[in-house]
Chains A and B, each alone.
Chain A
Amino acid sequence: MNEGYIPILFMLALATAFCVVVVILSRLVGKRQDSSEKLMAYECGNIPTGNARQRFPIKFYIIAMLFIVFDIEAMFLYPWAVIYKSLKLFGLIEMVLFVGILLIGFIYIWKKGALEWGSRNI
């Protein structure tokens, strides 16, 4: 195992311990007086109607899918960027080609209207 990561493990453990302890303590210390009205979901004082987990616009799914595609492509640029200095002109040409292909996809989704948020497209 790489020793450089052990301090990160400490940090994660500390943060986790802090969160757990704080939540449990506040549960024990705070006064509690439950009533069914108090535990209702907040809807500006009205009695909530129906389940909150309803259908929502498909736009959010589209954004999530686009994000995955483009984020993976962005991740491919990271190792390239780190060794760019030694790649010189070859690296530049490769990258322009790669970004070009990425841009074609980007223009396609733009023209398709996947990035519009008007009421028509939802």
Chain B
Amino acid sequence: MSLLAIGIALAKAVIVFVCLLLCVAYSTWLERKVLGHMQVRCGPLRVGWYGLLQPIADGIKLFFKEDIVVSGANKFLYILSPMIVMIAACASIAVVPFGDYIDVFGQKIYLRVADVDIGVLYIFALSSLSVYGITLAGWSSNSKYALLGGLRASAQMISYELATGLSIIGVLMHAGSLRPTDIVAGQDIWYIVKQPIGFLIFVICAFAECNRSPFDLPEAENELVPGFHVEYSSMKFALFFMAEYAHMIVVSALAATLFLGGWRGPVLPGIVWFMLKVFAMMFFFIWIRATYPRFRYDQLMKFGWKVLFPVALLNIVVTGIGMVIWG
């Protein structure tokens, strides 16, 4: 690998990481604003024009908060676990293609950080890692609420991960590759058309894996306080908070790449289409939160194992039969 190539790769990583952090900050603003308007409130309004500086003010405030390590906590794991969650959420954006390529001084620059042949598998591997962070956070902070929240979260996340893993197999069968760029290239017709059931299962599981409403059992405020991160304060809490939004962005980007044609679209440049699709998904996340009440825990587990898992399996079989019959 030449020095120039390494330099370009490093620059791309830095730019993508900074953009991701900005997107995370502003999706908290988006969430509060959209939720506010859906509930006939205004949302953040005072800090900056239209409340636009609110995420920055929040960040600065969290920075100056007192950093607490609870007595009886396992200190090492207590500090490590928010980092695991955040690193897993941020690093998985690396394989998502944002667009085709741009010319900079005659140098073709592809709009993705890395182009590996097992990209989809890599994202799933990393998103499984964040379960460790959440379980360890719940266990290490020596609080009953945190432990219960952590247990609930890990059981929920692994149950729905199963169905997520199965729901995208239909797409892989059509695309014949695990490389995200190949999957985008294969979508002359969006895969949501060929795999509507797969998309539905994927989106439901995405909600559950991001611990979002209506599956926000791990942080059910009115029974568990905030669940696994009840004992966290200052930036360690902020890391959990940011990781949740980063995870949402990654899942939206993955949905856009796998099912909605990735960066492909007419007239507008690829990156614009990609961002539009990602933020449409993010808006959908928020919309659902404003619309549906929370599940009960046994309903949640029953739904994951007894409905989503068999339906996802059936979807694979039907896709297989369909592909043999119609080529």
Contacts and interface: CB of A to CB of B under 8 A. Distances in A.
A115 B304 CA distance: 10
A51 B142 contact: yes
B272 interface: no
B139 A82 contact: no
A112 interface: no
Interface string A83-107: 1110011011001100100110010
B320 A4 contact: no
B234 A26 contact: yes
Tell me the interface secondary structure of chain B in the complex.
helix
Interface string B102-120: 0000000000011111000
Contacts of B169: 74, 77-78, 81
A38 B67 CA distance: 11
Contact of A56 (B147, B165, B178, B297): B147
Nearest to A21: B235
Nearest to A90: B324
Contacts of A54: 144, 147
Contact of B82 (A19, A39, A83): A19
The bracket for how many chain A residues form the interface is: 35 or more
B284 interface: no
Interface residues of B, number: 85
B158 interface: yes
Nearest to A28: B67
Given A5-B114, A7-B114, A95-B316, A52 B143 contact: yes
Interface stretch (B50-58, B85-93, B251-259, B286-294): B85-93
A63 to B, nearest CB: 5
Contacts of A38: 68
Tell me the interface secondary structure of chain A in the complex.
helix
Contact of B309 (A5, A34, A106): A106
A89 to B, nearest CB: 6
Contact of A78 (B90, B178, B310): B178
A21 to B, nearest CB: 10
A108 interface: no
Nearest to B182: A82
Contacts of A7: 9, 12-13, 94, 113-114
A44 to B, nearest CB: 8
Contact of B95 (A8, A48, A56, A85): A8
Nearest to A94: B320
**Considering the complex of A and B, which 9 residue pairs feature the smallest CB-CB distances, nearest first?**
A117-B298, A26-B235, A41-B143, A10-B13, A7-B114, A15-B90, A81-B172, A11-B94, A19-B83
Given A34-B68, A74-B169, A116-B298, 19 more contacts: A14-B17, A19-B87, A26-B234, A31-B66, A43-B144, A52-B146, A52-B147, A63-B158, A64-B158, A70-B309, A78-B169, A82-B177, A88-B324, A89-B324, A91-B320, A106-B310, A115-B302, A116-B302, A117-B301
20 contacts: A3-B1, A8-B122, A10-B9, A11-B93, A14-B17, A20-B83, A38-B68, A41-B143, A52-B144, A53-B142, A59-B155, A71-B158, A78-B121, A81-B172, A82-B172, A85-B173, A85-B323, A88-B324, A92-B324, A110-B306
